[in-house]
Structure 1
Amino acid sequence: MVRARFVFPVVLLSIVAATGLAVQWWREQHQVYRLVIATGGAQGEYYAFGQALATVVAQHHPDIAINVLETEGSQQNIELLQQGQAQLAIIQSDTPPQPSARALAFLFPEVFHLIARSDANIRSFGDLRGKRVALMPEGSGSYKLFWALSQHYYLTAADFTALPMSPDAAYAALRQGEVDALSRVMALGNPALAELLRTSQSQLVPIDQVEALRLSLPYLEATQIPKGTYDGAVPIPAEDLPVVSVRAVLISHAELDPKLTRAITQTLFEFRNELVVLHPRTATIRLPEAGENLGLPLHPGAKAYYEQDRPVFWVEYAEPIGLLFSVGVLAASGLWQLRLWLDGRQKNRADRYNLEIVALMEQIQTANDLTELETIRYQLFEILRQVVVDLDKDRISPESFQSFTFPWETAITTLRHREMLLMNARSQPPVSPDLSSN
């Protein structure tokens, strides 16, 4: 009787414990992690990338829901991360780090653009003295980099009129002659900037002295705005234009669950082609090289992904590997020739696509019918689909894909412009003949 009295509570406690463990397991299996990623303005590259990342992560990791937050830029993003209001953020590589920030990956390059009115007599950064300059909002990476560059040219706030404002307001001010120049850091080929350069009396200004700038700003990279990036017909710019750039970096809070950061990092590289379809510039994302400094410590989850293929068995099988290496040396020259052949084949394939784009651009210029333009639009997107497939199957290289995106986006922009011209012409009433003289 006494034994039965003790058995019942034990059985009851066991059932309760088993039920609790089952409930906990079920919750873990069905839990949805809701994250916030701080990006930038709604018309900018950071926001567009954040939306693409959220979409692809949700497709492959349904337990992760990412909310894309519009912000004023890098400085605000890292502050939101520090305050715990965001778990992910995109910042420029020149943004001062915070103790709570950890790096996940380098994203696409961000190029410093200086645009000046053609009648403002601004041919270099130093010519901004005495001018009115529209800057991006305070706290943005563009704002910070402008002032860092101005120090190199010995320009202070007293030497010109700095007017921080939103990108849309800055573009409008330049069109209306209310400012002489504007500066903004963004990925190449931005459609809004292309429209500004084509429809206003303005021009891009080169930024040279990159190696001298790197003495005090080591995060800067030398790059170029390729000829025709913003208009292939004119072209804009007329020649390859030397400028400087920084890298966009995807970061997270140090305390974010490593399994989440690993899943997000995995998405960047294993599902990159899906990201490219939504945001073509993600084609430039690359795995960090061994020992590469991203400007911040790596998050443990991202580090685990990068090191997942580290070959531990090399030590255990040192002798057979040595034999294989000896055999490999004998075949090295043949493999090298094969690689050269494959590289050449990839380049030839990419060149063929670019020639198709050029041919379609010529058709766009002469098209006089909206139906014809719609056919050309279908052909352009079919070419893009083929290129993405070829990138996925390593038929073309990421570098070739990056060079392809410029003429493709130029063709799409030219097609839209041609459509507008045809629609405007169609909407004009016919001119009646003047019969008053009869």
Structure 2
Amino acid sequence: MDSVLVRKVLGTTDGRQVLRGVLVGVSIAATLVCAGLWLRTRNQVHHITFATGGETGEYYAFGRAIAQVTQKHAPGIQIEVVASAGSAQNMDSVQKSAADLALVQSDTPVQPAVRAVAQLYPEMFHLIARKTANIQTLRDLQGKRIALMPAGSGSYQLFWPLASHYALSDRDLEAVPMSAGAAHTALRAGEVDALFRIIGLGNPSVTELFQDDQLELVEISQLGALQLTQPYLESTVIPQGSYSGSQPIPPTDLPVIAVSALLVANEKVNPDIVKAITSVLYEHRNELIALTPRAANIQSPERSQNLGFPLHPGASAYYRQDTPSFVVRYAEAMGFLLSLSFLTVSSVWQFRQWLIGRQKNRADDYNLEILALIEQLEQAETLSQLQILRQQLFSILRQVVIDLDVDKISPESFQSFTFPWEVAMTTLHHQELVLYQAESGGQSSD
């Protein structure tokens, strides 16, 4: 009965008006809901945690620069930069989702939930020693007291494989982990003999450290052997005068080893957020450089896509945004190839015939040169003239061999060349014999 009643009501004019009103109301409500959701998404603020390094270090400064420029160009992304003990802790924090982004050294073992975003800048091994300690190589650290960065930092973790390569262990030297500031103070005060730190070239705190003329940089070499167990290491140099120009430090280009600073992210971070941050690195680099000069060394997008572990989808989307689909990319070329194929097939034979003719003509030119030389050989009156003609013969032979190698003449044409050349050589030898006998006869008569 109810369904019959409904049909009767809707069948009337008033009923149809009620139905239209209901549909309009539902449409308006749906529109308002969609608009609300769009506005909420547009105005939503994403909070990102960014693990860097010590508050006085380069990683922290670089992270602050990224956060500041990102907030300017993508206000919906709020990045909280947090200090940390270094790369190992940062990698662990991203793996456990305690941090969304992090800066790590390229030697840091990659965790399963961590994805690459970008390769940033090279970090160079700095071994700084007191001149009185007489440290010329890493091996000379035996029996010495050396300041290292805090345990868990990339510098600390990399020092021990490096020392091991030089047959040094913690029993052969006294390693003292401490903060960068404390390490610099201890080195200046003579409380340690040396300091090992991995840092970007031209770091202001290292530049200030070299105001003490009792300190020097020590070469770190043997990269090839080190790469057998640590393939992420790179060869580089600290250029002459990087830390002082008046009395250059180092005094000459100094071979050292480097790793790269990487930006990584947890795999679950929103791809749009990672894409926006990646765009800041490459599209607003000048603004980053104004905040931290290290940004001038950000590596190319090509290098960032070949880091040896998976890219984050957001970074991948940025790097490939200008890459068209296969069909779009090759449709025009494919059409061109189809239209060109018939012409190509029909012209290959003609080209081959032309090439054969050209090779033969070139060989004929050489044969004519040989015939002209044979005539000159027969008319030569002195051995010096024969010597000049001999050089011309061998010069032609040398050019013919070169042309044969680059397919300017064919093997068949080369065979046809050898006959007149042998005739020329026979004529040369005969004429030499005649002139030798003539000269000998003249000398004996004297």
TM-score by length of 2: 0.68
Show the counterpart of 2:261. Answer: 248
Q: Residue 164 of structure 1: CA displacement?
A: 0.6
1:429 alignment partner in structure 2: none
SS where residue 66 of structure 2 aligns? helix
| 1:103 aligned partner | 116
Amino acid at match of 1:151: S
Query: 1:37-79: CA deviations, max 9, x gaps?
Result: 1111122211111111111111111111111111111111111
Match of 2:149 in 1: 136
Pair 1:115 & 2:128 matched: yes
Tell me the secondary structure at the aligned position of residue 126 of structure 2: strand
Q: Which is higher, the Rg of structure 1 or of structure 2?
A: 2
Greater Cα offset, 204-213 or 285-294: 285-294
Write the deviation string for residues 198-226 of structure 1: whole angstroms up to 9, x where unpaired: 12621111101111111111100100111
1:270 positional shift = 1.3
TM-score when scaled to structure 1? 0.69
Deviations 1:355-375 (A, max 9, x none): xxxxxxxxxxxxxxxxxxxxx
**1:276 aligned partner:** 289
Q: 1:199 aligns with which of 181, 187, 212?
A: 212
Cα distance in 1 between the residues matched to 2:196 and 2:170: 15
2:330 to 315, 319, 325: 315
Q: Counterparts of 1:84 and 1:292 in 2: how far apart (Å)? A: 23
* Aligned match for 1:235, one of 248, 255, 259: 248
Task: Assess if the C-alpha contact under 8 Å between 2:119 and 2:303 holds in 1.
Answer: no
Gaps of 5+ in 1: 325-438
Q: How far did 1:121 drift?
A: 1.4
Distance 1:197 1:38, change over 3 A: same
Give 1:100 deviation, angstroms: 1.1
Residue by residue over 1:379-402, the C-alpha shift from the partner in whole angstroms, topping out at 9 and shown as x without a partner, is xxxxxxxxxxxxxxxxxxxxxxxx
Q: Give the distance between the partners of 2:149 and 2:57, measured in 1 at CA.
A: 12
How big is the shift at 1:16? 5.4
Where structure 2 has 5 or more consecutive residues not aligned to the other structure, the ranges are 10-14, 341-446
- Give the drift of 1:83: 2.1
| Residue 168 of structure 2 is aligned to residue 155 of structure 1 | yes
CA contact (8 A) 1:175 1:200 kept: no
Distance (whole Å) between structure 2 residues aligned to residue 249 and residue 200 of structure 1: 34
Cα distance in structure 2, aligned partners of 1:84 and 1:192: 32
> Are positions 1:49 and 2:62 aligned together?
yes
Question: 1:296 maps to what in 2?
Answer: 309
Farther-moved stretch of structure 1 (181-190 vs 266-275): 266-275
SS at match of 2:122: strand
Alignment partner, residue 74 of structure 2:
61
Task: Give the superposition deviation at 1:12.
Answer: 7.1
Count of aligned residue pairs for this structure pair: 324
Distance 2:80 2:303 in 1: 32
Identity of aligned residues (%): 51
C-alpha distance in 2 between matches for 1:148 and 1:290? 26
How far apart are residue 290 of structure 1 and its match?
7.6
Q: Report how far residue 281 of structure 1 moved.
A: 2.2
Is 1:30 matched with 2:66?
Answer: no
Partner of 1:93: 106
**Which digits, 9 at most, give the CA deviation of each residue in 1:248-292, with x for residues without a partner?**
001111000111111111111111122122222212223333895
**Secondary structure of the structure 1 residue equivalent to 2:261:** strand
Letter in 1 for 2:329: W
Deviation at 1:166, TM superposition (A): 0.5
